[in-house]
Amino acid sequence: MRTLFHQWKHRILIALAIVGPGLITAVADNDAAGVSTYSMAAATFGYQIFIVLIPMTILLAITQEIGARIAIVAEKGLADLIRERYGVRIALVMYGLLFFVNLAVVIMDVAGLKAALSLFGLNPTVFLPAIIVGLYLFVVLSSYSIVERFFLVLVAFYGTYIISAFMAKPDWATATSSLIIPHGQITPRFLYVSIAVLGTTITAWGQFFINSYVKDKHLTTEHLKYNRAEIYLGAIVTDTLTFFMMVAVAATIFANKIIVTDAAQAAIAIRPFAGNFAGILFGVGLLFAGMLGCVIVALTTAYAFSEFFGYSGSLDETFRKSKLFYTTLLIQLVIGTIVALMPNVSLFAITLAANFVNGAILPIIFYFLYEFANNEAIMGTHTNNKVQNWLLAGSAVVIIFASLLGLLGQIFGW
């Protein structure tokens, strides 16, 4: 009996030790840019958009697990492997693509943070730079483990969306059945928005981040099964939060045919139907989503820069040792803050577009995941199984066709 107790104690301690990468990466996909995209999607299509959530959750879980497994077994980040296997030119192209897509997301996250501050009557000109500076100094001066705990604390605030959904008093039967029963017509516009929703949930930056973050955590192959469980849990948690977020919007804004262009407007529009407190909670969620998102997405670019070009970069290293890593992080946060503070700058136009691009380029990321995860020289006995390979390949084909139809629909107004 005592032996059994010690075995379970050992397993629980290991599980608690590895918690972080999967949960943080998955929930950070619901950043301020993501909250805005989900809000616009639910406000436009209501419960119809819910049909993408279950397939999206499965794909998120599988792809994040593959990325983390590569990092653990190869002991290298995804960017490291791309540079080593495909050369500097491909690495430069991939980094350029990642940098500009990530920068757009960082700008939207900082803008979401600015909007949340305005919701609570706080002057963004004063408080936004102060928060950004505070976040940057905290990351630079703290160790990996302390930063990770801070991220996990921010994740807890996403629970506000669950409360907002219940206060909206939705039709739960319709909401839950819409997860498996399609409603409405599948138009090019629906495909465009669906790819944007996919692109804000399963992101290029998310694949690079979990890969680098797992490597920075120094997990080993003995942690693989625990890490897999944590990643699957993270995928379920993040898309459950997405579900409640969309329920709050669909039951109020869509039901009353109100047009919103971002999450801040959604927080205001919810109030007359679900109560002032529900709107406040939605705004609180946006505030912490912006804080978590801008730091993690900017960190992804910093990790990728270090790996693509062979420089040192780790949250456990000082600024003096990882100057380029922390400088890359700072550059993005500064640009994001400057753009977000510009007067009369509407980021609505780029929110869906940037997340659509994020979704449309996923097949490129899936290609690298497929190649590395099936390379025995890299993975040894930990290569992909057939189901994982079919899912990667099949998803890539579907995303390519849906992206093309959605893009053509946007161009020609179908």
Domain edges within the chain: 46-412
| Residues 343 and 353 sit within 8 Å (Cβ to Cβ) | no
Distances (CA, A) of 152 to 26, 118, 148, 158, 319: 12, 25, 6, 11, 23
- Residue-wise pLDDT for 312-327, tens only, equals 777 778 888 888 889 9
Distance from C-alpha of 157 to C-alpha of 164, rounded to nearest angstrom: 12
> Hey, what amino acid is at 140?
V
| Residues 266 and 282 sit within 8 Å (Cβ to Cβ) | yes
Neighbours of 182 (CB within 10 A): 10
Helices 160-167 and 224-249 meet at what angle, rounded to 10? 30
| Residues 36 and 108 sit within 8 Å (Cβ to Cβ) | yes
pLDDT of residue 395: 93
| Residues 296 and 151 sit within 8 Å (Cβ to Cβ) | yes
Q: How far is CA 82 from its chain centroid?
A: 22
pLDDT of residue 373: 95
pTM: 0.85
| Residues 317 and 90 sit within 8 Å (Cβ to Cβ) | no
pLDDT of residue 6: 44
| Residues 351 and 193 sit within 8 Å (Cβ to Cβ) | no
Which of 24, 26, 52, 25 has the alpha carbon at shortest distance from 38? 52
- Residue-wise pLDDT for 80-117, tens only, equals 889 889 988 898 898 888 898 889 889 988 988 888 89
Distance from C-alpha of 146 to C-alpha of 153, rounded to nearest angstrom: 11
Question: What residues contact 72, with CB distance under 8 A and at least 6 apart?
Answer: 214, 215, 219, 220, 221, 223, 224, 227
Distance from C-alpha of 262 to C-alpha of 260, rounded to nearest angstrom: 6
First-to-last alpha carbon distance for the chain, in angstroms, is 67
pLDDT of residue 29: 59
| Residues 242 and 30 sit within 8 Å (Cβ to Cβ) | yes
Q: What's the fold here for domain 46-412?
A: Amino acid/polyamine transporter I (1.20.1740)
pLDDT in tens, the chain (414 residues): 555 444 444 444 334 344 445 455 545 556 777 888 888 899 999 999 999 999 999 999 999 899 889 988 988 888 888 988 998 889 889 888 889 888 988 998 898 888 889 888 899 999 999 999 999 998 888 876 777 677 767 667 777 788 888 988 899 999 999 999 988 888 999 999 999 898 888 888 778 877 766 766 677 777 788 778 888 888 888 889 899 989 999 999 898 888 777 667 777 777 766 678 777 877 887 888 888 888 888 988 888 888 888 777 777 788 888 888 899 999 999 999 999 888 776 665 677 788 888 888 899 999 999 999 999 999 999 999 999 999 999 999 999 999 998 888 888 776
Phi and psi (nearest 5°) for 246?
Answer: -70, -35
